[in-house]
Structure 1
Amino acid sequence: MLEFLARDWWVLTVRGAAAIVFGLLALLWPGITLLALAVVFGVYALADGVLAALASVRTGSAHRLPLVLEAIFGLVFGAAAIIWPGITVLVLVVVIGAWAFATGIFEIFTAVRLRAELEGEWLLILAGILSVLFGLLVWFWPVTAAVAVAWIIGVYALVFGAVLFVLSLRLRGAGTTMGRGGAAS
């Protein structure tokens, strides 16, 4: 395996460089990054809707309704995401905020109910409070939260790209060692 990776070390270099470029773009233009993700989701949902529609045509009439509904939802949500990508991003961020808020409330209630049985329940209460606060922050500042998501994606891509780039250089060195008859392990 090392031989194949070492021979094509440059592929990891290109992948790493592409990830670094993407990460920089995501950090410099987070709004465009999020809009592009919304459009990509829209294209996926449209394609899924079309395929569900095709499957519904090929399915017997008794089992068709779920596929027809799936096709309609895929087509509607896909078109909406493409036509209104900004709203799609904000809706997603608000849904994430609602999930965090609800999860936090449930964590706090669970911790309070487990007080007699669980030592250190304050950690679950703290986790719940953090979730509630995060949910509220996302609700009050959804645009800022969306930008933060783009930044997280950008930082991830930068780190991922740098790791791939360094790995490619190490594989290149291993390939050189193997080419000279040295042991590569």
Structure 2
Amino acid sequence: MREPSNRRIATLLARNWWTLVLRGVIAILFGIAVFIWPRISVAVLVGLFGLFVLISGILALIAAFSRSQPEENRWLLVFEGIIGIIAGVLVFIWPGITALILLYFIAAWAIVTGILEIIAAIQLRKEIDNEWLLAIAGVASVLFGILAAIRPGAGALAILWVIGTYAIIFGVMLLILGLRLRNWHTPGPPVI
């Protein structure tokens, strides 16, 4: 007998808890780097952001395709991974990007990622404890993306503190969720 879809998604996340932890650590390091270098140049900010979303996207794909999981359980992680990789690659292909375009890239990535995390949290609310951490990370992403898109005239460097704060909050939520999922055990036979 197959497990319900939400349980399979929760199992997939629990088995790949380390990717959430690693993504959280990378986000926290990105946020700290932004605060440590308050006069960071656009080129460095672009490089850090590109690296952050590229690695985050790769880790999401690793989580989606590790272990044999039914296809319907993968779509959120696959979509999030593809968006992250595309955003990261675009940043590196286009190194002369302006602060305004960088801000729109960051805003779009944050909104899409946040919506996917909110959807995942809603789907998992009956399966795992502390799914609200994923929902809070998603809401923080969406709010940050909207704020960045509404105030583009401020430029990426002028709202650096917002970018750093968002990255740290997002990272802490993923880190806590990943560590809690590490201890989540699924009863019964393994998911096939």
The TM-score by the shorter chain falls in which range?
Answer: 0.3 to 0.5
> What TM-score does the superposition give when structure 1 sets the normalisation length?
0.37
Q: Per residue, is there more helix in 1 or in 2?
A: 1
Q: Max radius of gyration: which structure? A: 1
